Chains A and B, each alone.
Chain A
């Protein structure tokens, strides 16, 4: 235990040191300035999403003994990040890409942070989601009251994770992207093995080894890119990569895609994900599912548009996307635990995004970007709801759950809406994203894209089947096969299932408490009374007056952020028009390549970059 803490502290210190090297305060923006008369220069904001969480992480570590202060520091830090991200998103619409060359070094030597439409869009959504999950986990920690547990490192680590995600989104340099990945990975290792229980160490070993392998592949790719071009700057690379012989380009392209593919959990490289995610605490799983794979998808988008736009591996990506969708969803259908089911749908829906990227048209890319945003929100929400369900019912296995919707209609609604959104039921944002992707596939007209259109329809149907099965068995039906099993399970010494408390150590105790409360509150120890006791855990025959529901009621503080995220998911539907416009704008900007280069290095450099012909879109000219 102490070993893990020490390691965590070491990683933290190192991450802080790295971040510090990235971002001294000199915001010497070379990018477009805000209009005259404005005091604040927009580029000043760009380093904040990386810096603020890192500083706050240090503070939170110092405040480890003061829970409330720690929570206040981390929540306010992430709130600042959210506000900054949204402000940048708005600013980018007005004044164009924001660029900061850190420390004032010229862009070709130093590190630049670039906030363009895609980055700010991803950053806004991801910071909203991280903030929501943080509030949820603070409420969970308050409700559990686990003082002895090593949750003191939860907040600092979580903040480093958030800084790493921001750094990856904002990075204008391949190596800085690697540093961002490492920051978020190191933090995710600590979060995944929080508490060091047997199940988490088992899941953690796989996850850590796979992640390190992917990082090493990425590092090799960077070394090769540097050897071939003499730079790692994303703005300089397009010109120099174009000049390379095709064989070398192919090698570089493939090695980058393999590295990002592991992180994004694209099919042949996805086996690690459903194995490792479900064992983590609920908020951790939620934020992993929402963000980590999407950072990989973001990196794939950059690779495919900025670095290697000539589409030589598009067919490979299409096949891989199809395999990801189909195999992922078949895995989901076979699961009996809702958490694992959702982990498989996560893998499966990465395929939709890769599909959009591989089609490579403005419509396809825009739909992929929109789908990423939709999926970040929905997937995170679903895992948070499952955390609530697990608190209420003691498990997430469909074999043991039942009647949750009757027990707690609110939980039912909270699960139902994002689940239908995930499946893509028409008015919701999932439908809009999928419709956009299918449109792009049909417009492309090739054989392979058309096969993928079929595949994505099939996957949507199977997703609907999988979530409907979860809904029917866990929420709707009465738990007929469960008699006393729940109780036996809880009383057993080492429960093999995943534990969801932050600490992990209190988990067994907590379940036992729930059972004892359930038993204790039943007055006559007869058959009838025992049914009620079982009801408290499994949701059958609940009489709200008599049954001990009060004890297992989920805290309001946890429901509120979940509900907020459900609302955010719905608002994506309402705001789909403007969002799709921004997504299309950013897609056009990405495919033109020149705006990015021009913002970082200036017009002459941009003119030397070839831009593939992009069909003209209203609003894409900038």
Chain B
């Protein structure tokens, strides 16, 4: 079986543009990419079904004339499924726009924290200096400096006023402080 060149070309163009769009950051573009991709794959099923033939309706043509109906049934199912998924993606893009004013896929929060920590050469929030054996003087000294230098001295909360001040502090500031791992 040698497939029709035109169909293969269509598959190629649809899939290539689809992949390009899926790699974009905005959900609506991803959505268009998914639609193009799945349509490309639907055409691929037509290629897979072999040569073209008469409609596969019993009695309309001789059996040998008919095209293979099975891939067509599969494509129909795939189209319905893609419709549902497209609707869901649209809803999600809309919700994202509602929440953030844009529909871009965001970075993982933890990943971002780890990256900024690595940039500042800090240990993670789960690092516990008590775990460390004592003799390694210089190393823990280094670490303490890394912890202490950018942080405002975070004394134990001993007053109501201070707590209120902390509460009202800018959220980013607070989160950064927490990321550093406060020491009493």
Contact = CB atoms under 8 A, between A and B. Distances in A.
Interface of A: 1, 3-4, 6-8, 10-11, 14-15, 17-18, 109, 175, 179, 182, 186, 189-190, 193, 196, 198-199, 201-202, 204-206, 208-209, 212-213, 216, 219-220, 222-224, 226-227, 230, 232, 275, 334-337, 340, 397-399, 469, 473, 480-481, 483-485, 488, 491-492, 494, 496, 527
Contacts, number: 157
How many of chain B's residues touch chain A, expressed as a range? 35 or more
A227 B174 contact: no
B128 A473 contact: yes
A59 B40 CA distance: 37
A399 B182 CA distance: 10
A199 B87 CA distance: 21
A399 B184 contact: no
Contact of B163 (A175, A488, A492): A488
A496 B109 contact: yes
A17, A212, A224: most-surrounded residue (chain B CB, <10 A): A212
Contact of B87 (A7, A201, A206, A227): A7
A483 B27 contact: no
Nearest to A341: B126
Nearest to A174: B74
Given A483-B184, A484-B157, A399 B106 contact: no
A483 B126 contact: no
A398 B124 CA distance: 12
Contact of A209 (B22, B178, B184): B22
Interface string B44-69: 11011100000000000000000010
A14 B184 CA distance: 57
Nearest to A483: B157
Nearest to B33: A209
Given A208-B89, A226-B45, A232-B70, 14 more contacts: A6-B91, A8-B88, A14-B80, A18-B80, A175-B77, A189-B85, A198-B99, A202-B96, A205-B27, A220-B41, A222-B74, A226-B71, A334-B126, A488-B166
B94 interface: yes
A496 B107 CA distance: 13
A30 to B, nearest CB: 20
Contacts of A484: 157, 163, 166
Nearest to A334: B124
A18 B77 contact: yes
A545 B94 CA distance: 50
Nearest to A186: B84
B105 A206 contact: yes
Interface in B78-98: 78, 80-81, 83-85, 87-92, 94-96
A469 B125 CA distance: 13
A10 B80 CA distance: 10
A205 B96 contact: yes
A488 B92 contact: no
